[in-house]
Amino acid sequence: MKVLVTGVAGFIGHHTARRLAETKRCEVLGVDNLSDYYDPALKRARLEQLAPLPDFRFLQADFADAEKFAGLVSHFKPDYVVHLGAQPGVRFSMEQPAAYTRSNLDGFASVLEACRRTPPKHLVFASSSSVYGAGAKPPFREDDNTDQPISYYGATKKANELMAHSYAHNHGLALTGLRFFTVYGPWGRPDMAPTLFARAILEGKPLKLFNHGRNLRDFTYVDDIVDGVVKVLLYPPADRSLPATGTAATRAAGLQPGAAAGANPALRIFNLGHHRPVETLLFVRMLEELLGRKAEIELLPPQPGDMFETCADLTRIQAAMPYAPKVPLQDGLRKFVEWFRSYYRL
């Protein structure tokens, strides 16, 4: 089968493309514009890891270029699309919102329209736990109110879910959105906590912990995230046996409230997390032990746009398919540290 993966030079995109290409049942076309939000050398290094795979091909392209991307999809005719490309980062969205408008709003509209013209069996796209905003109480459930995301990044991801609902309802596209919770692991982004913390510890620089290190995060190892992405991808809404009617049945099927089971498939939303949040300060202590160095910790007040706690309720996805995160934080951090030392030579 043919799978198109956007954001393939990114952290989760790299791991997802590798998993799919290594099955030897998928022809994977990866697309990425290699933006300079962080060092493109890391993105190219990820692509170098994928290049030897015989079932993988890469094309540098911007999915926000609507006509060109629609032409690409029309030519490749993917059976499945995994849309992981986006402008990431909660704090950066407060400084450069225009980048998020282009990539996360205009770009996602481009992806939806391309799939409307050349419909795949299933389009799976990345949402985020950042859609859970003011008033959200952990563990976060997919049917919680998400009308008040705190960050602009979270707002764009909430908008993606609404845009997808419109295309599912009006055009019959099979769509599933995945709300990722604090993904970490080898080849992780340099602007994320594990890399920032590890570098500060090894270089003896002050490590700034906002909210005095008391924030709780549902750290999820990247392999567990990829397991969820691939399993969800192969369970398109149209191919599943859905309950007949009713709100309870709709929720059990993973459909958004108001979707009619048995009709054209509506948007499904699933959390993908570990369901065991850890305090940031404890996370740092675990890194200290693995790195063999003590951190110079600077405790600071809460940062605007940050959530104090994230925790994924996995009831919905586990009712729909066999998904369970397997990698404990200690094991995942050990694998991350091994990669970090090797890649950055620290």
Q: Which residue segments constitute the domains of the chain, with CATH numbers given? A: 2-188+219-275+310-326 (3.40.50.720)
- Mind listing the pLDDT tens digit for each residue in 222-231? 999 999 999 9
The b-or-e profile of 137-164 (16+ CB within 10 A means b, else e) is ebbbbbebebeebbbbbbbbbbbbbebb
**Residues acting as catalytic residues:** 153
For 60, the enclosing helix (H) or strand (E) is: strand 56-60
Residue 240: pLDDT above 60?
no
Residue 264: pLDDT above 50?
no
Residue 265: the pLDDT is 52
- Which residue bears the tokens 């596209």? 173
Residue 190: the pLDDT is 97
What's at 290, amino acid-wise?
A: L
Residue 237: the pLDDT is 87
The b-or-e profile of 232-258 (16+ CB within 10 A means b, else e) is bbebbbeeeebeeeeeeebbbbbbbee
- Mind listing the pLDDT tens digit for each residue in 141-200? 999 999 999 999 999 999 999 999 999 999 999 999 999 999 999 999 999 999 999 999
Residue 256: the pLDDT is 52
- Mind listing the pLDDT tens digit for each residue in 110-138? 999 999 999 999 999 999 999 998 778 99
In whole angstroms, what is the distance from residue 108 CA to residue 103 CA? 7
Question: What is the rounded average pLDDT for all residues in the chain?
Answer: 92
Positive or negative, the CA dihedral 149, 150, 151, 152 is positive
Residue 63: the pLDDT is 98
Closest C-alpha among 259, 216, 233, 246 to residue 317:
233
Report the 3 state secondary structure along 244-288. Answer: CCCHHHHHHCCECCCCCCCCCCCCEEEEECCCCCEEHHHHHHHHH
In whole angstroms, what is the distance from residue 340 CA to residue 337 CA? 5
Closest C-alpha among 103, 110, 139 to residue 273:
139
| Category of 184 on φ-ψ map: left (φ > 0), alpha (ψ -120 to 50) or beta | beta
| CA distance readout (Å), 286 to 331, 332, 337 | 11, 11, 11
Burial of 132 (0-12, 13-18, 19+ CB in 10 A): buried
- Mind listing the pLDDT tens digit for each residue in 97-109? 999 999 999 999 9
Residue 135: the pLDDT is 75
Report the 3 state secondary structure along 110-143. Answer: HHHHHHHHCCCCEEEEEEEHHHCCCCCCCCECCC
In whole angstroms, what is the distance from residue 18 CA to residue 23 CA? 9
Which of residues 57 and 94 earns the better pLDDT score? 57
Residue 239: the pLDDT is 45
- Which residue bears the tokens 């950066």? 92
Residue 303: the pLDDT is 79
Residue 48 contacts by C-beta under 8 Å, 6 or more apart in sequence?
Answer: none
What's the rounded mean pLDDT across residues 273-294?
Answer: 97
- Mind listing the pLDDT tens digit for each residue in 202-221? 999 999 999 999 999 999 99
